[in-house]
Structure 1
């Protein structure tokens, strides 16, 4: 089995190094574009260099992008793929529970305690953090981040680049459109339009996302 290289040297990278070890995957090291981190120790893994140097490790390593922000994660993935076709690993913690009708996209990270029930499809580079629950027949796009202890009911659709805050809950059958966000502790009872932030209980529109 190939070794893992973690992309990103922040706090979530520390958790992903630990996750990889729990999955019995050896971690070769970390890559990060912040040159001040080069040579640093990240939960026992050394920062080997910048992200572009992934091409030096293709023969015997797989990669996982441990960056919580969906837009940044996508930008890093796009940057890597300008230089070739990286082999992205999918890491699923041994304590996560899921049925045989759940499919995971490449590069996804499923953390400890998560539960996914039946007929669920996850796209590429999704992050489900600690103790996330996902109900039946949910469909997730690419580059989605779900923070710890979020509860997503059945038949929910999350489009690309959606972000769900810690402890948020989503009612059955809703759609969070591309680039939208539900804030920490939010209780969602209606659909969220594209690139819009909702927060509160019940969750209401807070603002639109502009970049």
Structure 2
């Protein structure tokens, strides 16, 4: 078993810890920049110190931060740490299915019940929440977040940093642009331009989200 430290101590971080242990990782604990958390325990694991403390430790790292209000945080922390690619863990829950021809990049997390059917490409530092289904020839770029219950039709494309909310349906062949956000439960029938927030059935533009990617 290889040692693992999880960056962040929120819900996604704790879910990742629960997935990592049965996947063969020895989870040492979490790191977080909130000093009030240091020395406390979350989900049975200690908060070891600030984020930058991973630079002094000999363990694999996975960055598990971000939410719909701040979905660029994962990229910012990865860039801030500047760790080599081989320091990052890829965590795949034992119940996730990674089909033939599919690949998952470094630093990415597939939680319980995730399905990649065939020839799906998932980039680096991608968060895939429980019960998401990615079908044939989907392409998911770095720093994407796919919330629970999302369904991607075949050959869908999620560009860098896109966020797809819980239960959203993305039609086959549709592209969601860089740092765009799709609201939960949305039905996306057409391409979503970069830096926009879309929601509804059918999904439509609500407002620009470009400032989130700064």
* Unaligned 5+ runs, structure 1: none
- SS of corresponding position for 1:26: strand
Q: Paired residue for 1:147? A: 147
Q: Paired residue for 1:44? A: 44
TM-score (norm 2): 0.94
By how many angstroms is 1:32 displaced?
A: 0.5
Q: Paired residue for 1:164? A: 164
By how many angstroms is 1:51 displaced?
A: 0.8
Quick one: distance in 1 between partners of 2:175 and 2:13?
29
1:68 and 1:127 in contact (8 A); partners too: no
* Unaligned 5+ runs, structure 2: none
Q: Paired residue for 2:120? A: 120
- SS of corresponding position for 2:124: coil
Quick one: distance in 2 between partners of 1:67 and 1:109?
12
2:117 and 2:136 in contact (8 A); partners too: yes
Count of aligned residue pairs for this structure pair: 207
- SS of corresponding position for 2:75: helix
1:13 and 1:42 in contact (8 A); partners too: no
- SS of corresponding position for 2:21: helix
2:196 and 2:210 in contact (8 A); partners too: no
The answer on 1:10 being equivalent to 2:17 is no
Q: Paired residue for 1:88? A: 88
- SS of corresponding position for 1:22: coil
User: Which stretches of structure 1, 4 residues or more, deviate above 3 A after TM superposition?
Assistant: none
- SS of corresponding position for 2:131: coil
1:4 and 1:63 in contact (8 A); partners too: yes
By how many angstroms is 1:2 displaced?
A: 1.9
2:179 and 2:210 in contact (8 A); partners too: no
Q: Paired residue for 1:66? A: 64
By how many angstroms is 1:42 displaced?
A: 1.5
Quick one: distance in 2 between partners of 1:194 and 1:175?
10
Post-superposition Cα deviations, 1:39-90, rounded to whole Å, max 9, x if no partner, equal 11121110111111111113xx100111134300000111110xx4360000
Quick one: distance in 2 between partners of 1:2 and 1:94?
16
2:97 and 2:115 in contact (8 A); partners too: yes
Q: Paired residue for 2:175? A: 175
Q: Paired residue for 1:29? A: 29
Quick one: distance in 1 between partners of 2:45 and 2:134?
31
By how many angstroms is 1:133 displaced?
A: 0.2
By how many angstroms is 1:22 displaced?
A: 2.0
Quick one: distance in 2 between partners of 1:123 and 1:24?
22
